[in-house]
Amino acid sequence: MGIEQRLQGFDFIATRAEFFINWARKWSLFQYPFVTACCGMEFMSTMCSHFDLARFGAEFPRFTPRQADFLVVVGTISHKQAPIIRRVYEQMCAPKWVIAFGVCACTGGFYDNYATVQGVDKVIPVDVYIPGCPPRPEMVFDGFMMLQDKIQKEKLDEHCAEKKYRLLP
């Protein structure tokens, strides 16, 4: 059941560069988990063999942002941490995407107080929001598949331009 059988004797295939590159990108996402809170437990179960994010080609956590394609913000972000997560994001190479995992990362959750950033999108741009306290692994997969769809639909020049990544001073 290799790719040879699928090709059935054809030696070459024709496709669009954009489609092909996006297809390759969406099935080999290296992640950088930025785990700060209890959602981390649910993130672990998503990663492990009961649910297994590896089926989507994203099983490889890189523990440096410079080798990662997408950032998973798992848990509450406090104002004390905000400069750190922005720095982590700035160190990632383009193309890069961000998933806000859990309601605290999406909106601050019920922590509406002096310490908590009201959603990580106040600090870095976010592509997919996965609410829940914590979200079930099925929800995480749903969000992850949404990110894959989004990547598939991207234009090639989207990541070349500075517009997407330019942050406030």
Partner 1 sequence: MSKELLQKVLERFPEAVEESHSLHGDETVRIKPERWLAVFSFLRDHLEFDHWIDLTAVDYLGREQGLPRYEVVVHLRRMKDGGRIRVKARLSEGGPAIDSLTSLYKGAAWMERECHEMYGIVFKGNADLRPLLLYPEFKGYPLRKDYPIDKRQPRIPLLGSEERRFPKPADETAHGHDPAFSREKKQ
Catalogue the long-range contacts made by 4-11 (C-beta closer than 8 Å, 24 or more residues apart).
none
CB of 110 vs partner 1, minimal distance in Å: 11
Q: Comparing C-alpha atoms, which of 63, 147, 98, 116 is closest to residue 139?
A: 147
Residue 83 or 94: which CB sits closer to partner 1? 83
Q: Which is nearer to partner 1, 44 or 83 (CB)?
A: 83
Question: By the criterion CB under 8 A, which residues form the site for partner 1?
Answer: 79-80, 82-83, 86, 107, 112-115, 117-118, 121-125, 167-169
Of the two residues 122 and 153, which places its CB atom closer to partner 1 in the complex?
Answer: 122
User: Minimum distance from CB of 118 to partner 1 (Å)?
Assistant: 5
CB of 79 to partner 1, least distance (A): 6
| Closer by beta carbon to partner 1, 16 or else 80 | 80
* Residues ≥6 apart with Cβ < 8 Å to 106: 100, 119, 120, 121, 126, 129, 130, 131
| CB count in 10 Å sphere of residue 59 | 13
Least distance CB 83 / partner 1 (angstroms) = 5
